Amino acid sequence: MGETKTKKTPRAAKAPASQRAEVWRVVVLNDPVNRMSYVVMVLRRVFGFAEERARKHMLEIHEQGRSVLWSGTREQAEAYVFALQQWHLTAVVQPEPAA
C-alpha cells in the first residue's frame, strides 16, 4: 500500500519585538506664534485635511497643547514633520506606545 504524505505548511515566524515594524506619530505642539487660521491652512496643505478636520486638530493643539495628526512608518512621519517645520509649526516624531 502506498503511503500518502501530508505536507506541512510552515508557520509564519513572529519577528522579535525589536524587528517588528514600529508605528510612529506626527505630533504638532502648541506655540504662541502662529495664528489659528494659519495652522488650519498648513494642515490642509500638508495632509490634505478637509476644513472641519483641520479645525478639529487646530483646536486640540490650542486647548490641549498637542495633537496627533498621523501615524505610520518612521520615514513618512519624518517627512511630514519636516514639511510642518518648513511652515514654522512645532512638530515632532514620537513612537506609538505599545498596546
As a whole number, mean pLDDT of residues 6-32 equals: 69
Q: Is pLDDT larger for residue 26 or for residue 9?
A: 26
Q: Judge whether residue 95 has pLDDT over 70.
A: yes
Q: Is pLDDT larger for residue 95 or for residue 14?
A: 95
Do 80 and 49 meet the contact criterion of CB atoms below 8 Å apart? no
Burial of 60 by CB count in 10 Å (0-12 exposed, 13-18 middle, 19+ buried)? middle
**Closest C-alpha to 87, from 30, 36, 24, 41:** 41
| pLDDT per position as a tens digit, 46-57 | 999 999 999 999
With b meaning 16 or more CB within 10 Å and e meaning fewer, what string describes 70-85? eeeeeeebeebbebbe
What is the CATH code for 24-95?
Answer: 3.30.1390.10
| pLDDT per position as a tens digit, 58-81 | 999 999 999 999 999 999 999 999
Domain ranges of the chain: 24-95
